[in-house]
Amino acid sequence: MPRYELALILKAMQRSAAINGTKLFPLLFFLRDRLLQTTLCLLWSSGQPETAAVLKRTVEALMERGAVVRNLENLGERSLPYKISKHKERHRRGGYFLIDLEAPPSIVSPMMDHLGRDIDVIRRAFIKHPVSKTEECSGIIPVNYEDKLIAKKK
Amino acid sequence: QPIQMENPYKEPPKKCVLCGINVDYKNVQLLSQFVSPHTGCIYGRHITGLCNKKQKEITKAIKRAHVFGFMPVMFKNPSFLTDPKICNVKY
């Protein structure tokens, strides 16, 4: 199965002062991935249970359709580079998340549909996992302009 | 009699600025160095001085970052304005 990367921008939540952690923690342990558990626990404890809930349901939807989630990274909550209007709201801040996954190509379009219907997702993007290959970079080869000019046109 | 051999004083091929570096749409700071601070337009090859491959990669990455909501389009992110100058721009 080819590797994909899902770049998600989620709605920035209002900071909640009092968190009812004790009631909601048992829910988390139904998830199989430990990475997921740790990231969601961190989010929960830092006062953003809604973000954790969005991520949880996204990942569950992905796993339902047969994707294997490798890694979930939080790139932090920052102010967006431009104001984005989505789902009848003008957003200025958002939480950036990166999901590394392996999935069959047939789930890309249904997943984009599904994420488009979710109110808390501002922007979604599926990319083929970037393969970093920079070992064989030979420098700038000087171009012989004379030869190029006189060369026969194919 | 002179022996045929390749030039022993040959200089190693010139490398462009990004020759060993992996270009990603996520590191906005690197991408912003090749963008104008006033208009946000991407500099051409004669200004950046990059080789063919890297210029193409950078352009694609910048366009991706614009669409995915990582990098501003019409200007350069103000926190990256004091980055060292790589391009051959004359303001």
Residue B62 near chain A (CB below 8 Å): no
**Nearest residue, CB atoms, A139 vs list B19, B24, B25:** B19
pLDDT at A30: 44
In a domain, B89, yes or no: no
Tell me, yes or no, if B19 comes closer than 8 A to chain A by beta carbon: yes
B68 closest CB neighbour out of A123, A130, A139: A123
Give percent above pLDDT 70 in chain A: 75
Do the beta carbons of residue A14 and residue A51 sit within 8 Å?
Answer: no
Predicted local confidence at residue B53, as pLDDT? 86
Q: Does residue B14 sit within a domain? A: no
In this prediction, residue B74 has a pLDDT band, given cuts at 50, 70 and 90, of very high
- Look at residue B55 and tell me if it is in a domain: yes
Report strand pairing: A89-102 vs A121-128. unpaired
CA distance B90 to chain A (A): 24
Query: Which pLDDT does position A16 carry in this prediction?
Result: 53
Inter-chain residue contact A81 with B19, CB threshold 8 Å: no
Q: Are B53 and A138 in contact (CB under 8 A)?
A: no
CB distance from B8 to chain A under 8 Å? no
* pLDDT score for A34: 60
Q: What angle do CA A95, A130, A6 make, to 5 degrees?
A: 35
Whether residue B45 is contained in a domain is answered as: yes
Any domain includes B64: yes
Q: Is the dihedral of CA A34, A35, A40, A46 positive or negative?
A: positive
Hey, are the CB atoms on A82 and B14 less than 8 Å from each other? no
- Calculate mean pLDDT across residues A30-54: 67
**Boundaries of domain holding B62:** 26-78
Mean of pLDDT values over A15-24: 45
B36: domain CATH number is 4.10.640.10
Position B18 scores a pLDDT of 84
Q: Is the pLDDT of residue A13 over 80?
A: no
Q: Does position A20 have pLDDT exceeding 50, yes or no?
A: no
Between CA A15 and CA A34, with CA A55 as vertex, the angle to 5 degrees is 110
The dihedral built from the CA positions of residue B85, B86, B90 and B91, taken in this order, carries a sign that is negative
Q: Is residue B86 included in any domain, yes or no?
A: no
Chain B's closest residue to A78, CA to CA, is B70
Rounded (10°) CA dihedral B9, B10, B11, B13? -170
Q: Which residue has the higher pLDDT, A1 or A113?
A: A113
Q: A124 and chain B: CB distance < 8 Å anywhere?
A: no
Task: Please indicate if any CB of chain B lies within 8 Å of the CB of A145.
Answer: no
In a domain? residue B67: yes
Name every chain B residue with its beta carbon within 8 A of the beta carbon of A91: none
pLDDT of residue A72: 87
With CA atoms as reference, the chain A residue closest to B24 would be A130
Contact of A137 with chain B, judged by CB distance below 8 Å, is answered with yes
Q: Taking CA atoms, what residue in B is nearest to A82? A: B72
**Cα nearest neighbour of B77 on chain A:** A81
Residue A89: CB atoms within 10 A of its CB come to 10
The domain total for chain B is 1
Q: In what side-by-side order are the strands of the sheet with A121-128?
A: A68-86, A89-102, A3-11, A121-128
Looking at the domain assignment, is residue B88 inside a domain?
no
CA B1 from chain centre, in angstroms, equals 48
Tell me how far CA of residue B85 lies from CA of A140, A144, B17, B34, B71, in angstroms. 21, 30, 11, 9, 19
Answer whether A140's CB lies under 8 Å from B14's CB.
yes
> Residue B26's closest CA among A115, A82, A86, A130?
A130
- Integer Cα distance of B22 and B14 in angstroms: 18
Give the per-residue pLDDT at A1.
74
A70 token code pair: 């490798």
